[in-house]
Each structure stands twice: as C-alpha cells, then as structure tokens.
Amino acid sequence: MYKASPKRRVVNVEKSKSVSEKETKQNSNFFAKHLKRIYPIALQRSTSSSFSLSSISLSLSQNSTDSFSTDSSTLEQKISLALGLIASPHRRETFVPKSIPQQQEQQLCHDFNSDDHEPKRCYWITKKSDEVYVTFHDQQWGVPVYDDKLLFEFLAMSGMLMDYNWTEILKRKELFREAFCEFDPNMVAKMGEKEITEIASNKAIMLQESRVRCIVDNAKCIIKVVKEFGSFSSFMWGFMDYKPIINKFKYSRNVPLRSPKAEIISKDMIKRGFRFVGPVIVHSFMQAAGLTIDHLVDCYRHGDCVSLAERPWRHI
C-alpha cells in the first residue's frame, strides 16, 4: 500500500487550509454583497442615526444566544439569522418611525441626508425640482382663487400642459402675462390676427398659433359667462357649491389625473365654446386654482390650503 511521505502530507494539509480559508472569504464576500442589496438602508443612514450595521451586530449578540453558540455556528448560519432579523416586520418597526409607512421606506432612504429645517412637501417635489416649481407649490398651487384674471391665467397655463410641464410654463409666466395683457379677458378677446401672429412668432414664448387662438377664443367665452353669471369666478365656483373639494391623499399614486367633477365642468365648458378644456386639463386647473385641494396630507401646505378653503366663500 502506498504511503504518502511526511513532507507531502504537510503540503496537502497546507493546501486544504488555504482552500478552506479561500472558500470562507468568498462566502463572506457573497453574503456581505447580498446583505447590502437586501437592506441598503443601513448603509445610507447618517452618523446621527442610531441604526447602522453595528446595531445589527448588537442585535445579533443580544438575540441569538438561544439559537446557536458562537463556537459551533457557521458563517452562513450567522448571516441567515441576520437577514431573518432584518426582514422581520417587528425589527423594522424598531428602527423605522411609525409615522412613515413601510411603502415609503425608499423615500425615507432618499431623505436621510436632507436638511432637517426643510418643510415636508408633496413627494413630487424633490431635491432636483426647479426653484420656480417649488415656489409655485409653496405659494400658489391649491390656494383658492376668486379673481377672474388669475383664474383665466391658470386655465390658459393648464392648457399648455399638453405641450410643456409646469416648470417650463412657470419660467415663461411673465412673458405670457405681457403677451396676453395680464390675462385680462376683455383685452385678450379683442386681439386680432396681427396680435395673434406676433405672439405665435415670438420664439421666447414658444406657443403654437393654434394655442394662441385657443386662449383668445376662451377669453371671448369668459366674457359671455360674465354676462350670465356676473363673473368667471362665480361660474367656476358654482360647480363646487362655492367651497373646494378637500382631499386627504397619503400617496402621490392616489392623486387622480381627472375627477367626476372635472368631467362635469369640462362638458359644460365645451358646450359654451371653450377649447382645450378636457377633463384632465380641467382637473389640473382645479388643482392649481384651489377648487380641489390635492396636496398630500403629509405636506405642510395641506393644512394651510384647508384653512383657506374652510373660510366663508366670498367673491373678490
């Protein structure tokens, strides 16, 4: 029978040790990698947070004594227990504030490094949002409007959403006001072909001729409405029984693009000759002009707009 020499035995033992150490290191890297994928929240917390990878280790040392001993446990068993503790709803409630739903954990991760003094806004307002859009959200969007000129302005800008987003529109708001006579319906309704062509050819305004004609035609419709109802404001708020719809949406996905009330208003306006006033555009107009309060309940502006909405209605 062949017997290995003592020298060869030593070599084999050293090889087996090196292979074992290599496998252990690979296993450690593998589980560490997937640990980061499964629960990256711990890696994104700031130093001021009480939850970190070190706290996971602390949790393990405090809760795992009954499950296994340190001497007899393998690396795989330890990591499995760690993942089990992390995945447990009870463990999540320990570290995530109860005021923030589990569905918003990704938003929580995104906001870890945000300024503590920054007010909480609707989730579509992010760090990358343009300042003009944030200002619009903070000062105008959702505030009940009763002035005919401002209502006409919001109606016109809401129609522009077919071609541009709010940020692009708001950046050119002063140009629109200058071109359309501060959105005075009486003056806009008198615009002729020359004025329409000049506005449409203005590259800074960037409005197609059909859009310009639409705004002029809507001004003419507003004049007719004023003769019948006394003001454009009375006409619009009459659909709302003179008080805004106060919604209490918690998530942005709950905010609708259109509503039954918007469909009713849209049909009536179309019968009266208004253009580009489909249910989606009308609902955007209602949101901007405060006919419906669609700020999320967690947004600091929700309470402000509700307070304004609950005051006795009066036409200005």
- Which pair of tokens denotes residue 114? 């945000």
- 34 in a known ligand binding site: no
Which helix (H) or strand (E) is 8 found in, with range? helix 6-38
- 122 in a known ligand binding site: yes
Q: What is the DSSP string of 47-82?
A: TTSS-SHHHHHHHHHHH-TTT--TTT--HHHHHHHH
Nearest one of 252, 168, 238 to 207, comparing CA atoms: 168
The residue with tokens 């002029």 is: 216
Nearest one of 117, 156, 121, 147 to 136, comparing CA atoms: 121
Residue 79 · residue 53 · CB < 8 Å: no
- Which pair of tokens denotes residue 123? 């989730």
Q: How far apart are CA 316 and CA 200, in angstroms?
A: 32
Using DSSP, state whether 246 is helix, strand or coil: strand
Which helix (H) or strand (E) is 9 found in, with range? helix 6-38
Classify the phi-psi angles of 174: left when phi > 0, otherwise alpha if psi is within -120 to 50, otherwise beta.
alpha
With a CB cutoff of 8 Å and minimum separation 6, the contacts of 185 are 148, 149, 152, 219, 222, 223, 226, 232
Q: How far apart are CA 149 and CA 127, in angstroms?
A: 32
- 214 in a known ligand binding site: no
Q: How far apart are CA 282 and CA 137, in angstroms?
A: 18
- 109 in a known ligand binding site: no
How many CB atoms are closer than 10 A to CB 180? Answer: 25
Query: Which residues sit in the known binding site for Zn(2+)?
Result: 122, 137, 295, 299
Feature table: binding site? 122, 137, 295, 299
